[in-house]
Amino acid sequence: MSSGPLSQKLFATAKQYIPGGVNSPVRAFRNVGGEPFFVRRAKGSRIHDVDGRVMIDYVGTWGPAILGHAPQVVLEAIHDAAKEGISFGIPNPYEVDMARTICEWVPSVEKVRMVSSGTEATMSAIRLARGYTGRDLIVKFEGCYHGHVDSLLVAAGSGALTHGNPDSAGVPRGFADLTVVLPFNDPAALEELFEKRGGEIAALIVEPYPANAGLILPKPGFLQLLRDITAKHGTVLIFDEVMTGFRLAKGGVQELEGITPDLTCMGKVIGGGLPVGAFGGRAEIMNMLAPDGPVYQAGTLSGNPVAMAAGLAQLREMDKQKGYDKLEENGQLFEEVVLETLTKKGLGYRWYRKGSMFCLFFTEREVHDLHDAKTADLAAFRKFFHYCLEHGVYFAPSQFETGFMSLAHSPDDILQTAEMAAAALASL
């Protein structure tokens, strides 16, 4: 599907003033070819582009739109809060209410601090872990993305025990030297590293369900191993639940898996579609933050009243509607029709889903880590993506992203999507 004439005009203008014409790289369609379309409005499960085309959307603002786009309850909360003031830079009641809600819902969180993005949350959690432990080394996993923080924008080194390499120009070599990158779902590599360097490691940060390389699920026992080995060596275990938090369950992956990390990074759903992030955890660690402790962290827009009001409205509506149960029902229906379609077409492509998050990998290899994910047939994915887009369904413009369903997606939406996807697969 080529973008419409107005989108083409907007993109041409955008490239004059914005690097690449976009404010986040994946939006540029470089992974799938062609040019991006521009959205005029979104409501429920649909997005409407500037050229008048309507699509069923499975990106959902990359996760926050769990009720669907522009839900009335969130719009009303934004309106009511904004009438009293857009921003104060002074404490407001909404941020206290949000903090209480997070601490009540998330098993590991005793205290929490609000920030303005997921990247800011992970950056702050890493600094806090270093300040708490007095150590410098950080461990992350291949395929886990934690925002564009210098210390975390690091690719794997040449072996499990080597330091990482900068994954972007502008990241100093010295920052990468303080980060070790391991393969996900590899207990042996993890145990070898901690045996040799456990006393140097300030924090291990992980997406418990990696959702930035498609959707990769942990093998049984792997998350528990992370908990056990970090506890043994006095390392802070950080769960990055910016994607999964409040989307898969009230308490996120840690509720589903029964694992209690030391710190948790959050975002997406708790902003109701507005910019937001948060990090929280054990009070002993969180009390190291200024003004109580020596670890400095600050933000003018942290706890913004409009964002807090929007997020609280969304969380309460999810709870009121028993939304996670309904999303699981939708997810099961989607899974059934996808697997039936793959069987009918004789395709062994790998499908993974947890609740309302999903990914279809265009590979017949089981996907347990980034190496497995990279065996996907990207040419086939591109054809599939453009066929779907041409026929009114929008999936993320990259094989290495996760799809999201919302409460606004009806069974008819899902069945319509399945019919179209079947035709797309048949066209490959």
Which residues are designated catalytic? 145, 240, 268
With contact defined as beta carbons under 8 Å apart, do 325 and 407 qualify? Answer: no
Q: Residues near 389 by Cβ (< 8 Å), separated by ≥ 6?
A: 1, 55, 395
* Three-state SS at 289: strand
Q: Are strands 357-361 and 350-354 parallel, antiparallel or unpaired?
A: antiparallel
Angle at the Cα of 214 from the Cα atoms of 210 and 216, rounded to 5 degrees: 45
With contact defined as beta carbons under 8 Å apart, do 219 and 352 qualify? Answer: no
For residue 184, the 8-state DSSP code is: T
With contact defined as beta carbons under 8 Å apart, do 142 and 164 qualify? Answer: no
Question: Looking at the DSSP assignment, which residues form a beta bridge with residue 352?
Answer: 359
With contact defined as beta carbons under 8 Å apart, do 215 and 209 qualify? Answer: yes
The helix or strand, by DSSP H or E, that contains position 165, with its residue range, turns out to be strand 165-166
CA distances, 108 to each of 206, 209, 260, 292 (Å): 15, 17, 5, 21
CA distances, 344 to each of 165, 182, 299, 338, 339 (Å): 44, 38, 53, 10, 9
